[in-house]
Amino acid sequence: MLEKEFQFYLNNQKELVEKFEGKHIVIIGEEVIGVYDTEEDAFNDASSKHELGTFLIQLCEAGDDSYTQVFHTRVAFV
């Protein structure tokens, strides 16, 4: 489940930040396939070309704060 993509990001974070700091990058395997200003743009373009679950969208920033994610849902349990 995208471990390869995330490990690629971690292994290459310094170089990727030098090239794409502040951008959202899309990674498949060990390749950056897109660079975007917003997460929404990255998702819309990548999902139009690739199956969901086959790519990683990563904010390209130094440190580990950029890969700590919080997910929200509208699901309500009653």
75 in a domain, yes or no?
A: no
74 in a domain, yes or no?
A: no
Rounded CA gap, 45 and 26, in Å? 10
Q: Print the domain residue range for 26.
A: 3-67
78 in a domain, yes or no?
A: no
Name the region of 31 (left: φ>0; alpha: ψ -120 to 50; beta: rest).
Answer: beta
44 in a domain, yes or no?
A: yes
27 in a domain, yes or no?
A: yes
- pLDDT given for residue 72 in this prediction: 45
8 in a domain, yes or no?
A: yes
Provide the whole-model pTM.
0.83
Using 50, 70 and 90 to split pLDDT, how confident is the model at 2?
confident
* Total tally of structural domains belonging to the chain: 1
56 in a domain, yes or no?
A: yes
Kindly report, residue by residue over 12-63, the tens digit of the pLDDT: 999 999 999 999 999 999 999 999 999 999 999 999 999 999 999 999 999 8
